Structure 1
Amino acid sequence: MTATPVDFTTVSTVGLERSPHADALAGLRANEARYFSNRYDAVFATSPADEVSELVGYVARVLRERGIVIASPALEATELLVDGIRWTHVFFESGLAVNVLYTLEPGGKRAVGFKLSQGMEVPDELGAFKFARQRSKLAGEIRGSYFVLHGEY
């Protein structure tokens, strides 16, 4: 597995070039890297999706709880285990980023988050969700939504 640490001081589109929103998606990825560095002192390193297909499959399985199938191909994915929380992220060609927050201890927080890169339309499969807007120096405007997980994964 070729995991590449994401640099959030010099934003790079490496690995995301196929996306029509590569610059915005790279900013979104860098924003996640900065969060994990600042909050957990953890390195956010992504791998090509085809090298970590088990992570992409895990996120797809979790999304099926709500009947959601992401139509866009996955470009990159990563997983971090920090403070008893399993964080799995997948970045898609459409500009969508999906993360699964899964506290390993029973009764902990468990949710799926969606973030849309600046400039991308809401994908049809996520049309039922309302998206809140936030500003990011790295990613411009991020639109995000989430749902709470009820199943065991």
Structure 2
Amino acid sequence: MGQVVDFVNVSSAGLESSPVAEALAGLRANEARYFKNKYDHVFTVESADEASATIDWVNRVLQDERGIVFASRPLEATSFEVEGIRMAYVFYESGLSVNVMYTIADAGKRAVGFKLSQGMDIPDELAPQFKFARQKSKLAGEIRGSYFVIKGEH
């Protein structure tokens, strides 16, 4: 059973082992607020143990597209579909959030996004190949993000 992410009363439940748990909780809440406001979707997460299929899919996309394998341990994940788009999120102990946006229709948008919690360094796996833009968030402080377009079928 998933845990609903509350973006009004932000909680770091499930993320306590992260050195930037509060910032990661804010980042997770920021995503929950976005999906509630844009799609009226309630953002829920599961522990990494319960969400292994989602984590495996995200890992395959990262490995197949860019040869990326993260050393950090996944803490939570979620996957859902909104308006014909399959979305998957993995929240890592390091403070990293990875999302895969995969439009189900062949001609749609498909991309992987990376968001870094405030206070974390750019992971070694991303440092050489990605530049990060900064964004302010009331829930997460400063978020740094980057992305790449998915070329293959997943």
TM-score normalised by the chain length of structure 1? 0.99
Give CA-to-partner distance per residue, 1:1-51, whole Å, 9 cap, x none: x20000000000000000000000000000000000000000000000111
CA distance in 1, matches of 2:73, 2:120: 15
CA distance in 1, matches of 2:119, 2:33: 22
* Equivalent position of 1:15 in the other structure: 14
* Equivalent position of 1:139 in the other structure: 140
SS at match of 1:123: coil
CA distance in 1, matches of 2:51, 2:94: 19
* Equivalent position of 2:91 in the other structure: 91
* Equivalent position of 2:71 in the other structure: 71
Alignment-mate amino acid for residue 17 of structure 1? E
Query: How many angstroms does 1:80 deviate by?
Result: 1.5
Give CA-to-partner distance per residue, 1:111-138, whole Å, 9 cap, x none: 0000000000000000120000000000
SS at match of 2:106: coil
Number of aligned pairs? 152
* Equivalent position of 1:102 in the other structure: 102
Alignment-mate amino acid for residue 151 of structure 1? G
Q: Is 1:25 equivalent to 2:24 in the alignment? A: yes
Query: How many angstroms does 1:92 deviate by?
Result: 0.1
Unaligned runs of 5+ in 2: none
CA distance in 2, matches of 1:60, 1:70: 9
Give CA-to-partner distance per residue, 1:44-94, whole Å, 9 cap, x none: 000001111010000000001101001100000001200000000000000
Q: Where in structure 2 are the equivalents of 1:30-49 lying within 5 Å?
A: 30-49=29-48
Alignment-mate amino acid for residue 37 of structure 2? N
Q: Is 1:113 equivalent to 2:121 in the alignment? A: no
SS at match of 1:114: strand
Unaligned runs of 5+ in 1: none
Identity of aligned residues (%): 66
> Aligned-pair RMSD on alpha carbons?
0.4
CA distance in 1, matches of 2:108, 2:126: 25
TM-score normalised by the chain length of structure 2? 0.98
Alignment-mate amino acid for residue 12 of structure 2? T
CA distance in 2, matches of 1:56, 1:49: 7
SS at match of 1:70: coil
CA distance in 1, matches of 2:80, 2:6: 16
